[in-house]
A = this chain, B = another copy of it.
């Protein structure tokens, strides 16, 4: 099995290295990841700038390719330029920070897996529920275990697995749960500051929403100390509403 590994925290991040060590026990791993952090770039791609690649060593050995683009770029670039063919699987992560709920729209890590799914490749996004004091070792083992399951069973066309792992001791984890995407929105909150030239600027703050009451969601199950596995679709059509629109839209404008 040939696994393409990417992330959005960049090729020098701790999370991607931990996952690499576990994945190479189960297959050949090619690392193609952003050359620096690209958090919260969503499913952006780079069309208006050139893309550069460089070979990156870690621990004095060749590790992978650092790309001057987004995670979605990395998947496209790996297939188009580096591998010149599709890998058997795309794994993205391990992200520093959770990607439950509406984070699936903002996360570059999740977009890396979605790009794989769009191209017909079984794909997994891995995230750790911590910004401080991360311990990636259990999440990395989880990622390799789920990769083996996905390799054996496949996934529905266009669907990938979005996995979130609590940042606690293995013995405290209550299990692995198939979950729904939480839907509580992440409201923008802005801090106004003044630059040295007396001009105002703003920082968006990363305030995460309340985890909600719905026990079936990834957000709540993660809070309850479960590893969450949410299958995410690439067909976004609201089919029920298509039928309504067919009756209610004007025929012409």
Q: What is the interface of chain A, defined by CB distance below 8 A to chain B?
A: 37, 39-48, 50-53, 72-73, 75-77, 79-81, 102, 104-106, 108, 111, 114, 118-120, 138, 141-142, 145, 149, 153, 155-156, 158-159, 173, 175-181, 183, 185-190, 192-193, 199, 201-204, 206, 227, 229-243, 245-246, 248-253
Residue of B nearest to A78 (CB): B188
Give Cα distance in the complex from A41 to B38, angstroms: 12
Known contacts A45-B106, A158-B183, A178-B242; decide if A188 and B231 are in contact (CB<8 Å).
no
A163 to chain B, nearest CB (A): 10
Indicate whether A237 sits within 8 Å of B233 (C-beta atoms), given known contacts A51-B190, A51-B201, A119-B185. Answer: yes
Number of identical protomers: 2
Chain B residues with CB below 8 A from A236, complex form: 104, 181, 232-233, 236
Q: Check if B53 sits within 8 Å of A142, measured CB to CB.
A: no
